[in-house]
Amino acid sequence: MKKMLQRLLMFFIGLPLVILIVCFLPHYNHLALNLTVIVFSALGAAEIAAMLEKKHLRICKIEALILGALLPAAEALSLAFNWDAWITASFFFTGAFWVLVSGVFSRSGNLDRCAGRAAAGFTALIYPGFLLGWIIKMGRWKGAEIIIMVFLLTVMGNDSTAWAAGMLFGGGNRRIIPVSPNKSIAGFIGGGIASIVVGAGAALLFPGIFVPRFDSGLIISSAPGAGIILGLLSGLAAVLGDLSESAIKRSTGSKDSGHIMPGRGGVLDSIDSIALAAPVFYLIFTLLFKQS
């Protein structure tokens, strides 16, 4: 009961904060949102590095923080100064270069740790930073505040509705996914419906932003139809993101990724769905809708 109350409290506090940051603080190319993404990426990378350490894949916490922030910081700089994609590639090369070359200077007694260090380093560089960086990329689009808010509502609506549906109707249909036994069929269905409703609803409410790219007679030629596809695939990616992190936690013997977020665990527990869904939403939106 205590965890449920904490989760509800975090939702009713967190959602207004998200709306404030995304919709009411778009100044300086969404600086507030970009800094939030960078901080959460760094903290998430530090948490997964701590989990990997239980499997003897060790990297310094400071290094994990820096590597986790590196790629979203590159995206933020690229957006702020209208730089091309080379800046992100350069930052990725810098991080990869450090992860690989730093092992060269290990003492002879520590050479057996180089492979584990490289594995942990590349993980911290990519997850969740590289994935969350796609949110910052959305800032280049016309109506970015609306699009980013729709993306976050697609994921958060999926997560919250899946949890509620699972609590109400999931008693007899759980344990279908070994990595997360508490997940239920009712929860998956409820979450999927929520994502579809958000996607279709956004296309209907904001026709000037959600303009279909195709003119054929297919379902994707209408804004609501394309919105349904966008919501469905993004919601599916959100579920897989949650399950992927659950698999990592089970593999490392961790109950939660951390203890920063009351009722949810760690930062990574709160952004796992967002991280994997961000590039999927970005790519599907780019495919189905026009950008300007």
Q: What pLDDT score does 258 carry?
A: 81
- Degrees (nearest 5) of the Cα angle 201, 208, 15? 45
Q: Which residues on neighbouring strands pair with residue 261, listed in sequence order?
A: 265
- Residue 292: count other Cβ atoms within 10 Å of its Cβ: 8
Q: What pLDDT score does 106 carry?
A: 67
What one-letter code names the amino acid at 172?
A: G
Q: Tens of pLDDT along 149-202? A: 999 999 999 998 998 888 888 777 787 888 888 888 899 999 999 999 999 999
Contact call for residues 263 and 9 (beta carbons, < 8 A): yes
pLDDT at 79 over 80: yes
CA distance 240 to 260: 23
> What mean pLDDT comes out for the span 130-142?
95
Q: What pLDDT score does 153 carry?
A: 94
> What mean pLDDT comes out for the span 236-246?
95
Residue 83 pLDDT level (bands cut at 50, 70, 90): confident
Helices 114-126 and 61-80 pack at an angle, to 10 degrees, of 30
Residue 37 pLDDT level (bands cut at 50, 70, 90): very high
pLDDT at 205 over 90: yes
Q: What pLDDT score does 183 carry?
A: 87
What one-letter code names the amino acid at 7?
A: R
Residue 31 pLDDT level (bands cut at 50, 70, 90): very high
Q: What pLDDT score does 192 carry?
A: 95
Contact call for residues 262 and 212 (beta carbons, < 8 A): no
> What mean pLDDT comes out for the span 117-139?
95
CA distance 170 to 111: 49
pLDDT at 85 over 90: no
Residue 209 pLDDT level (bands cut at 50, 70, 90): very high
Please give the model's pTM, rounded to 2 decimal places: 0.92
Q: Tens of pLDDT along 256-288? A: 888 887 666 789 988 999 999 999 999 999 999
Cβ partners under 8 Å of residue 97, min gap 6: none
